[in-house]
Amino acid sequence: MFATILGGLPRPPLPAGASIDDLVEAAVRAQEEAGLEPITDGRLRWRSAEDPLSDGVGPRPVLAWQALSKLTASATKAALLGPYSASWRLGLDAIERHAFTRKSVRGLKAEVRRLAEAGCPLVEIVEDEAHRIGDDPAERAVYRDAHTALTDGVTGTHLSLAIVGGNADAAGIETILAPAYASLAVDLIDGPDNWRLVARAPANLGIVAGAMASRPDGSEGPELILYAARYAASTQARGPARVGVALVPGLDQLPWDIAVRKMNALGHAARVAALPPGDELADAVDPRSIDIRTAALGRRRKR
């Protein structure tokens, strides 16, 4: 069982003159202390966290990942904005948007290959506008064709698709997972119907269940993470080795102290979810989540 964040992090509370390297290192240490992995640079190297592939914004992804990998012995990942979502941010009409989606794939694929050649173990393609696909045949086709072209022939890294920001289940698993991704990360807070994608995903596909909300008032207990992890593992007889959990949709809008609290809560929840059935697991969760009798007592009666 592993735990990670899907999205960015806020600026750590370092002095105004702190270097970007110092900021990224603070973000890395916070993730390490929380027990999260794979680790991200929190998109702190980008002047725009919204669109890190825009011309002239931030360093090349491979340089950002190389700087990150030097800071930790833990597994790391690089996140790139997917072609479908990138096109929606330009305010184009449908024809222009579809053309941009197809045209942008070549450059994005080149970045993925550079990351793979540099040794990046995991490249996350983020599609936070996939909920717009719906049952429209044209939208389905442009999304599917773009991702098929993006993933075709890419080797040397684990390619993960991250669906965040809403329900994308209406597009169908045939659209979302037609390309050759090794894992699927889904937002189950803003997109609870994404469970339908999880249930239909092939058994050999890894699942990252985004089941802890990054909202300040969102639940931080381990119970929902435990349920999500166990259910994801049960689908298609996937097994727990192919399941991770995540915070969604990112922490970049939170104060640093709350973001750290959230990361620590996720790390704790992942450790609880990895426990085998027994007293230790039962003692780690809210009594109300066990059974009606335990809920009524407010505590678990041990034998």
Confirm whether 101 is domain-assigned: yes
Confirm whether 73 is domain-assigned: yes
Angle, CA of 96, 181 and 161, to the nearest 5°:
60
Confirm whether 301 is domain-assigned: no
d(C-alpha 100, C-alpha 81), whole Å = 14
One pLDDT digit (tens) per residue for the chain, 303 residues: 899 999 999 999 999 999 999 999 999 999 999 999 999 999 888 755 444 444 444 458 898 999 999 999 999 999 999 999 999 988 899 999 999 999 999 999 999 999 999 999 999 999 999 999 999 999 999 999 999 999 999 999 999 999 999 999 999 999 998 778 999 999 999 999 999 999 999 999 999 999 999 999 999 999 999 999 999 999 999 999 999 999 998 899 999 999 999 999 999 999 999 988 777 777 766 566 554 444 344 454 555
**238-283 pLDDT per residue, tens:** 999 999 999 998 899 999 999 999 999 999 999 999 988 777 777 7
CA distances in angstroms from 62 to 11, 34, 55, 205, listed in the order given: 21, 25, 15, 25
**116-158 pLDDT per residue, tens:** 999 999 999 999 999 999 999 999 999 999 999 999 999 999 9
Confirm whether 290 is domain-assigned: no
Q: What is the DSSP letter of 156?
A: S
Q: How many CB atoms lie within 10 A of CB 224?
A: 21
Kindly state the helix (H) or strand (E) to which residue 105 belongs, with its residue range. Answer: helix 94-118
Q: Which structural domain range is residue 133 located in? A: 2-278
Confirm whether 285 is domain-assigned: no
Which residue's structure tokens are 């990895």? Answer: 274
Q: Which two tokens stand for residue 181?
A: 């991704």
Q: List the CATH number of the domain containing 10.
A: 3.20.20.210
Confirm whether 48 is domain-assigned: yes
CA distances in angstroms from 125 to 49, 77, 112, 162, 229, listed in the order given: 14, 11, 9, 6, 22
Confirm whether 229 is domain-assigned: yes
* Number of domain units in the chain: 1
What is the maximum span of the chain, computed from C-alpha positions, in angstroms? Answer: 67
d(C-alpha 53, C-alpha 262), whole Å = 28
Confirm whether 232 is domain-assigned: yes
Identify the bridge partners of residue 159 per DSSP, sorted by sequence position. 123
Question: 126: which residues sit within 8 A by CB, 6+ positions away?
Answer: 6, 79, 80, 81, 82, 85, 162, 164
